[in-house]
Amino acid sequence: MKEGEVYFAEIKDPKGNEIQKDRPVIIIRNFTGYNLVFVVPVSTGENRFLEPFNVPIPKTPDNGLDEDSVAITYQSTSISKKRLIKKLGEVDKESFELVKENLKNLLKL
């Protein structure tokens, strides 16, 4: 597993406004020694395209997404690698850099 790869992930037991249902995620960081990955979930929800800090991710053969989507950076989280069901592909370098830049801005780093 490496940065920028897209996996379909099992998201169970959300609380409050946490992201819900199984969905694609983009790996931001692989914490090898901890069996965890830091991910940004991906959505196709129409309203998500209007939210600040979200990054459009167009469907391509390389990323394996079924339709144009958006990376929901404010819902980024660490999950167990056991939640990663299937590798779908990899986002293009430009989109991945934009996701990382939006995370930095969101977290005021």
3-12, pLDDT tens digit by residue?
999 999 998 7
Q: Using a cut of 0.85, tell me whether the model's pTM lies above it.
A: yes
The mean predicted confidence, pLDDT, of the chain is 91
Query: What's 5-106's CATH class?
Result: mainly beta
Residues 20-28 have a mean pLDDT of 92
Q: Which of 73, 84, 74, 77 is nearest to 22 (CA)?
A: 84
Radius of gyration of the chain (CA): 13
* Domain limits, the chain: 5-106
Name the band, by pLDDT with cuts 50, 70 and 90, for residue 28.
very high
pLDDT in tens, 87-98: 999 999 999 999
What is the phi/psi pair of residue 20, to 5°?
A: -120, 160
Q: List Cβ neighbours of 61 (8 Å cut-off, separation of 6 or more).
A: 89
